[in-house]
Amino acid sequence: MPTYNERDRLRELVTAAFDAFTAAGLDGELVVVDDNSPDGTGALAEELALQYRLRVVHRAGKLGLGTAVVEGMRAAGAPVVGVIDADMSHPPALLPTMFAGMRQVNADIVVASRYVEGSGTREWPISRLLMSRLACIMARGLTPVRDATSGFFLIRRDIAQGVRISAGGFKICLELLVRGQPGSILEVPYVFVGRTAGESKMNLKEALGYIVQLRDLHRFRRAHRAPAPAYRQFVAAPARR
């Protein structure tokens, strides 16, 4: 869980995540990677680590979401790792369902999706929704996943560790879907809720970086031919807040 100025809802998310783990009988942990947040996010994470199975990685400055995810996966000890936002945009209650689906179909990656049957978005500006849908459409030539820019997913740790991540921005899921060359992908629905606290990290620089990322990933695909992955969608009642 990468954080930068996410103190407002961190306690709520951590509590919800561990409640979900306990209810499902999962031995889960959270890894918070904090980029020296001036609002005290890192200090609150350390406080929560006294109560929960939570590791905190402190970084010297704002080094970017992509590299934070990589460091968090390195610090994790489980055979399955994942990414979730700290602002409650992603429902922690869905984590056990994602893991169960992964085991059921032996998937290498499970992507929580805003754009499959049973999913949706709430409290999100139409401009951001249109940008997100366009970004996903632009990725269709690289992966069958409908929400390839999702920031909420699980992946086998051995696949993630074998990938050299080039993107430093938001779209690390797409990077792993292409460079990780997974054999099986599962996409599950959820309702994305726009943040009600803090500030979005999306900006023009990130959008332009996505264009460059697409170019690089197409070059990778041409140079590293691999069989198309088995792709499935899991339709269920979407988890909410």
CATH number of the domain at 184, please: 3.90.550.10
What range does the domain containing 83 cover? Answer: 2-233
* pLDDT in the model for residue 170: 57
Specify if 239 maps to a domain.
no
Specify if 226 maps to a domain.
yes
Those residues whose C-beta lies under 8 Å from the C-beta of residue 166, and which sit 6 or more positions away, are 175, 179, 213, 216
Specify if 138 maps to a domain.
yes
* pLDDT in the model for residue 162: 78
Specify if 167 maps to a domain.
yes
Specify if 240 maps to a domain.
no
Specify if 238 maps to a domain.
no
Q: Is the pTM of this model over 0.85?
A: yes
* pLDDT in the model for residue 171: 80
Q: How many domains in the chain? A: 1
User: Are 83 and 176 within 8 A, CB to CB?
Assistant: no
Specify if 184 maps to a domain.
yes
Cα dihedral 15→191→143→230 (10° resolution): 80
Specify if 20 maps to a domain.
yes
Beta-strand ranges (E) seen in 96-226 are 109-113, 120-122, 153-156, 184-189, 191-193
User: Are 136 and 148 within 8 A, CB to CB?
Assistant: yes
* pLDDT in the model for residue 164: 79
Closest CA to 170 of 73, 57, 85, 59: 85
pLDDT (tens digit per residue) in 212-237: 899 999 999 999 988 899 999 985 54
* pLDDT in the model for residue 44: 98
Per-residue pLDDT in tens (0 to 9) along the chain, 241 residues: 999 999 999 999 999 999 999 999 999 999 999 999 999 999 999 999 999 999 999 999 888 888 899 899 999 989 999 999 999 999 999 999 999 999 999 999 999 999 999 999 998 899 889 989 999 999 999 999 999 999 999 999 999 987 877 665 558 899 999 999 999 999 999 999 986 444 444 566 777 888 889 999 999 999 998 889 999 998 554 444 4
What gap in Å lies between CA 29 and CA 25, rounded to an integer? 13
User: Are 50 and 26 within 8 A, CB to CB?
Assistant: no
